Structure formats: structure tokens, C-alpha cells
Structure 1
Amino acid sequence: MSGIYDSILDTIGNTPVVRLSRINDGAASLYAKIEAFNPGGSVKDRLAAAVIEEAERSGALQPGQTVIEATSGNTGIGLAMVCARKGYPLVIVMPENASLERRKLMRFFGAKVVLTPAVERGSGMLAKAIEIAETHGWFLCRQFETPVNADIHARTTAREILTAFRDRPLDYWVTGTGTGGTLAGVARVLKRERPETRIIVCEPDNSALLSSGISQSFDERGLPTRTHTRFRPHPIQGWSPDFIPQIVGNALTDDLVDEILPVSGDSALEAARRLATEEGILSGISGGATLAGALEIARRAGQGQNVLCMLPDTGERYLSTILFDHIREEMSPAEEAISRSTPGYRFDRPPSFALSSSPAGEIRISQSAQFFVDEAIHDPEHRVVMFALTWCEFCWTVRKLFEAAGIAYRSIDIDTPEFQKNGMDGEVRKALRARIGSPTIPQVFVGGEHVGGCTDTLAAWRDGSLAARLAFVGASYTPGACANPESLLPQWVQAKA
């Protein structure tokens, strides 16, 4: 892309097709359409923009009306981006076992996320979304049934594929299916304009709903009347909910699918990991699953054949899932060996800089800094005082504890520009060190009494001494809150513990 755009929504679509050379061990040429290049990171950006814009045109969505949808994640992220740009409140309903990154991304865009029990599966999240929409009069996107879902892919994704392969044959197009919009929209265009292209749909091998031949029924509200009898839990988020969506069922009925290919969870994970390490492309589990199917097709197809697969999203929203469970946070033995191969900047050596070792009595401290520290510690309006740094992870940890425990406090952030004027930040640190004997930040005081640094404060909350001190000085707090305060520490610290 190049040029200037009026809106982030104008950058949706026109995603690249990339040849996969290192990972491909088949005779056919293998290509991938990388939907992570959409601004929201997935193929669902196309649907999100289209369904909102169509609802605006039809009058189904009024200015300021709340939008709601049931999704395992990518549609929700796309909708959160679109609604943020257009100014609509958004509520997403999703199962509790969807990745943490997806929840956080949606909330970061300003959406609210309502979780449903994992045991209720996809049909449970859908029923909850319908229930909430009907109760509050909110606009429900209905991604599993709206014609807009397939139409946008017919107008955009399919046309982009035809353009990419305008000078060469496209023998196989391989995709997975969740709602079925990508499948139905692209397949109906290919069947019409490139009838030689075989449409391959992948599904989890242990949850083979499409190949079962068992149809799905729906009630008048669009809810599945039952969980499909062949559904089993699987690791491929975004694929195969516990029912066959109406769009998918219609694609099968209309003979848009030439082959249904089962893919194992293990092969999906392996393919996604290989895609990153061999091709430099970051994709999620569903992309790995589609790639695994495409690799099989490429092995099966002959020389000169072309295979295109869809990679629907980026792998960054799977960091908390099984896809990354083999990735260590701490250094591996090989990485430690590299560190030890040179003498400096190692954890088993003194730091490259040293804090002053002068006894506290030899430190020259300005009277104004001493007065400021004394006055702050004994501030009658703030029983809890923390000397902190704005961007220190350990200060963030203490702040999170205080917020979780309902503790009102004053944070004196000595790295702000005001304190840096005339070197007051350094003077305050010297005054603190003279008082408590420690140069580290944060430092917490309750009612004028020193509690300690970050880990000291966490330990005091765990053993009850901090609560007792708060009660003694009349500071309010929530008893029993944050039973495991060490869980608030940065992840890299917890990994070392």
C-alpha cells in the first residue's frame, strides 16, 4: 500500500499472496494469501467493516446504537477496530477459553467482552449474544448467517485472488472454515470464473462435522437446535464451532466444495511453527491447519500445479495458547552459552555500573530534599505514600496491588520532569537512602512507617502485616483481596522464581 488514506478502514483488503518455497516439499507450487496484513490482523476485518456499513445503509444500525456479536475472537477484534473508528459502543460475547490476547485486544480498542462458560461452546456464546441483543435492543451482526459475510469475500478476496493468478493457473484453493464467509464468497466466484480450480475445505480430524453428512437445524432465531453430534473439542480456534453455520451448510448444498480434508491438531501446530521458522511468516493455529492441508495437497498434486491456501490471521494473538507452549521466557542453555562466551554484561558478574557505596552519613543531602521526604512520609491527608518511578515494572506491581486491594495512596513519581529540574530527583533518592538505607525504588510508607520495596510490600500483604498497619492508621482496604500478590510481578520475574 502507498498514499494517504482518510481512515484506517480504507486499508482493509488487498492482502499479498506469497510463494512458500522452503517449507514446501511437494511437486506443486505453494502460495499463501496472508490476511494478517489487514489493519486488525485478520481476514475478519473485511466482514467487520462490511456488516457495519451495510447496517448503516439499511438503517438497521442507528447512530450511537450498541453493536453486539458472538465470536471466538478475530471478528470481535475487527469489529472493535471498526466500531472505534465509527464511534459505536461494542459488546463481544466469546467463550472463556478463547486466547487472552484476543480479549485484551478487543478491550484495548474500547469494546466490552462478555465471557460464556467453555462447556457451553460456540452455540452458548451465540445464544447469549442473541439474548443480550433482544433484551437491550442492540444491533446483532449475525456473522454465522448474514449474506454480507460471503458477499464481501466475493467482492474483495475472490477478486484479489483472480488478479494474483491472472497469468497462471490456480489448480487448488485451500481454506478452513469457521462462519463460512470466506469459503462461500470466494468459492462461488472461482466456480464461475475459474471452474478448473478445486475447492478444498479443511476441518479438524477429531471434529469432522462437514464430512459427517449430518445436517444442522436451526430455530426461528437462527440458533442451532442442538450441538452437532460429531463435535469434539479441538485446538484450532476460529474453526468448527459445535454447529455447522448456515453459510457453511449452504456452501455444501450448493456444491461449492470439491473435497473436505481432515487436519490434526498436531499437524496444525507443527505447520504454524515451521511457517515462522522457515518462511518468516507469523500465523495462528487456524493458518497452520490450513497450511498443513495445503502441504498435503501440494505433495499429492503434480509438477506445474499451483496451490493457494488462506492464512487468516497473525500468530501474536496466540501467545497464551498451546501454539507457544514450547517457547521459553528465560534463556535456554544454548543462549546462556552465548552469553558466557564474552566476559561482560552477564548475570553472574557484577553490573557494569555500581551504585555509590558511600555510607549514608557521608552523603551530602540538600535540606529541601530532606524536608520534602519527611513531609511526604507524614502527610496527614495520605496515609499510604509510595516513592516511585513512572515506568518501573516493580512500581506498576505495587500499584496493581493497591488497586486490587482498594488502598488509596499517593504516588510520588520522582522521574517526572518536575522532579528532574535542578536535580531534585537525585536529591530525593539520596534523602530516602539516608533514611532507610536502601537505594532502590519503589519504597512504601504507611502512616509514616517504612514498609519496604516491591517484594517487601507484597510479602507484607500476604502475611497480613500490611493490613494490620493500614487498620492501625485508619486507612481503608479490602480484606482478602489479591490472595496471591506475587502473581502481579512482571512475567520475566515470575519465570525466574
Structure 2
Amino acid sequence: MTAQTIDEDRSDAAYRSWLKEAVRRVQADANRSADTHLLRFPLPTDWGIDLYLKDESTHPTGSLKHRLARSLFLYGLCNGWIRPGKPVIEASSGSTAVSEAYFAGLIGVPFIAVMAKTTSQAKIDLIEFHGGSCHLVDNPHEVYEVSARLAEETGGHYMDQFTYAERATDWRGNNNIAESIFAQLRLEPHPEPAWIVATAGTGGTSATIARYVRYSQHDTRICVADPENSCFFQGWVEHDPDAACASGSRIEGIGRPRMEPSFVPGAIDRMMKVPDAASIASVHLLEQRLGKKAGASTGTGLWSALKIVAEMRAAGERGSVVTLICDPGDRYLDKYYSDEWLAEQGIDVDPYRRHLEAFLAGEAWTG
């Protein structure tokens, strides 16, 4: 096919009409469902510190990744990468794929998720519910190569969230998650949070929040919480863009075996390494205190947020801290809420549960 033929194809009236309608449908979804609730986590009132959780599980596809998927689809459509009738392919641990399957169905293109076989069955079921199909691989490290190969074989588009997440989101505003947080805090006792805590899968969310904070000239600092079996913490501490680890994360949705292109270390102020048992104990605490089940990635952020609250309390500081509810816990009933699975993994949450309960009862944070 000649360059001239390609140019003629991309200016075709039928394609332009399809593109306009596809963009309209994706933007209409944002108009209906862009914002989510900001929940207050109960802390002793005499501490003078407020802890909030931005509940991203209330999106139509049930997770923080709904925002990302919308941005990636708009980015791919407006770049001319997503074409009528051609599949969109994504390397995903599940939640992004659920959301992308939804948007693919919205604009009428096929969707294929390339995921590790260890991905929870509930996520696979949700992808298929939204009309997508799943291509499962034995080794999580293979998802990138397999996705690129499938795109080449089918003539489709490899979305590549791990490269494009930080580019696709408008971090200056346009109702991104950071802008929403600050708008919802406007009437609260401490409207400018001392810290916002995020977790990283692609790194796109932490980059968006950090860039918005700097662009808007806020004093808020950004902390990224990293689970076991993820290299982001090591890469950030050692300033090593080639940091890697051999094992995959047990905390679905976050943690990566390599430094992903969308993770922007220079934009964030602090990182914490969180034991998996602490992450899981924290979501059990969330259910106990707010009556809300969440995935363990939420627990990773909540543990770090509570540690920051403890540091502020010890220093006599007042203010607010914000973290995220990333996705609902009903996707992980056979994992993080299963005593059998925890035993198989050798995860003992009890010491961390007791630690959290003691802290909220007024004892000092230890460790």
C-alpha cells in the first residue's frame, strides 16, 4: 500500500464519520460518570487529621482503570490508531482490561486481553461480560510481546497502557482524578491535603496527580506505595531505570517486574515498600470500619496513608491525607478474603491487623 493510498484511506468520509461517533460515545461516558465519591475514614477527632479515600470502585466498570481506559481510547482514536472493525489488544492484569472491554464494546470494536493465568476468574468473567476475550499466558513477563504479536497478526492496535498511560491523561485538568480530589476537598477542614498516596501499576495515576499538583502550585506531596515483588521502589531509590525483579506481584493491579515507561519517578516525593500481608490486613480493616470490601491494592495505599497519619500525629501536625479505593473486593473473594488462599501463600495478616487496631485505639505506630 502506498503512502498516498494510506492518506486517502484516513480521510475517507465513512471513517471520519465513524471516528466522530466513537469519540462522542467515549466523551458521553465521561459526562455521565466521571466523578466518584470521596469517603472519610474514621480517625479519632482529637488527632486533628482527616483521612479520605477516593472511591474509584463506583465507576461503571468498577475500578480506577475506568478513567485510564477512557483516556487511552480517546488517545488511540484521535491518533488514528484504533480503526473500525479492528481489535484493540491490551497487556493487563485485569482491571484495565475490564474497562477497555467496556469501551471497545461502546464503540463497536473487538477486544483481546493478554493476561497471566493467575489473574482472578472474576476479572476474566467481567472482561467476557463486556464482550472481550482473554488470551492467557503462563509467564507474566510475556504479556508485552504476545500483545504486540497479536496486534501485528490481526491488524489491530496494541493499546500498551504501560507506555501510554502517563501520556494519554490530561494532567492539567479536564476532570482528571487530581482535579476532582481538590474540588471535593474545597469545603473540608483541610482542603489542601498534606499527602496524596497512590499505588502504581502503569504509574499513570501517580504521574497525573503529581503533575497536576505542581501545575496548580499546591504544596501537597505525593507518595507511591509499592507491594512486594515489584521493582518500582528499588528503581526509585537507586535511580535505576533498568531495575527489575523476577517474580510477579501478588497484589493484582499494582507492582511490576520492570520499570514501566509510564512510571515517572521524578514527579513523586516519596515511596514506601508495603508487605503483602499489611496490604491485605488493611483492606480487612477497611471493611470493618467502612463496611466496604476493596481489592488489596487499596490496602497497599491505605497502609501507607495510615503510616503518614501516624507520622503527622507524632509531629503534632494537623491536616488531611488522601488515598484511593482502586477496585471492589468482590473480584478477590477467592484470594484476599479467603483463609485458604492466604494459608497457601504463607501470608499471616494477624500481626498487621493487631498493629492497625492498636494504632487506631491511640497507641503509637511502631516500625
Q: TM-score, normalised by structure 2?
A: 0.77
- Corresponding position: 1:133 with 2:156: no
What residue number does 1:37 align with?
58
Structure 1 counterpart of 2:287, from 264, 270, 276: 276
Shift of 1:149: 5.1
Q: Deviations over 1:35-88 (max 9, x none)?
A: 001110011111212222232223221111111100000110001111112111
Q: Deviations over 1:344-390 (max 9, x none)?
A: xxxxxxxxxxxxxxxxxxxxxxxxxxxxxxxxxxxxxxxxxxxxxxx
1:153–1:266 CA distance, 2 compared to 1 (3 A): farther
Contact 1:154 1:186 in 2 (8 A): no
Structure 1 counterpart of 2:324, from 303, 306, 310: 310
Determine which structure has greater relative contact order: mean sequence separation of CA pairs < 8 Å that are 6+ residues apart, divided by chain length.
2
Contact 2:227 2:255 in 1 (8 A): yes
What residue number does 1:66 align with?
87
- Corresponding position: 1:163 with 2:176: no
Shift of 1:247: 1.3
What residue number does 2:216 align with?
193
Contact 2:202 2:260 in 1 (8 A): yes
Larger Rg belongs to: 1
Contact 1:153 1:186 in 2 (8 A): yes
SS of equivalent residue, structure 2 residue 262:
helix
**Aligned pairs (5 A) from 1:238-277:** 238-248=253-263, 251-252=264-265, 255-277=266-288
- Corresponding position: 1:111 with 2:132: yes
What residue number does 2:207 align with?
184
What residue number does 2:339 align with?
326
RMSD: 2.5
Contact 1:47 1:148 in 2 (8 A): no
Distance (whole Å) between structure 2 residues aligned to residue 270 and residue 148 of structure 1: 30
Q: Unaligned 5+ residue runs, structure 2?
A: 1-25, 342-367
Distance (whole Å) between structure 2 residues aligned to residue 86 and residue 30 of structure 1: 38
Shift of 1:6: 10
1:12–1:205 CA distance, 2 compared to 1 (3 A): same
Moved over 6 A (4+): 23-26
Contact 1:175 1:310 in 2 (8 A): yes
Contact 2:165 2:202 in 1 (8 A): no
Distance (whole Å) between structure 2 residues aligned to residue 319 and residue 24 of structure 1: 33
**Aligned pairs (5 A) from 1:14-25:** 14-21=35-42
Shift of 1:165: 2.4
Q: Deviations over 1:159-186 (max 9, x none)?
A: 1012122342211000110001101111
What residue number does 2:225 align with?
202
Aligned sequence identity (%): 25
What residue number does 2:304 align with?
293
Q: Unaligned 5+ residue runs, structure 1?
A: 218-227, 329-497
Distance (whole Å) between structure 1 residues aligned to residue 45 and residue 127 of structure 2: 35
Q: Figure out how many residues of one structure are paired with residues of the other and give that number.
A: 306
**Aligned pairs (5 A) from 1:382-461:** none
Q: Deviations over 1:423-442 (max 9, x none)?
A: xxxxxxxxxxxxxxxxxxxx
1:150–1:293 CA distance, 2 compared to 1 (3 A): farther
- Amino acid in structure 2 at the alignment position of 1:191: R
What residue number does 2:351 align with?
none
Distance (whole Å) between structure 1 residues aligned to residue 110 and residue 229 of structure 2: 38
Distance (whole Å) between structure 2 residues aligned to residue 93 and residue 145 of structure 1: 16
What residue number does 1:452 align with?
none
Structure 2 counterpart of 1:95, from 116, 135, 150: 116
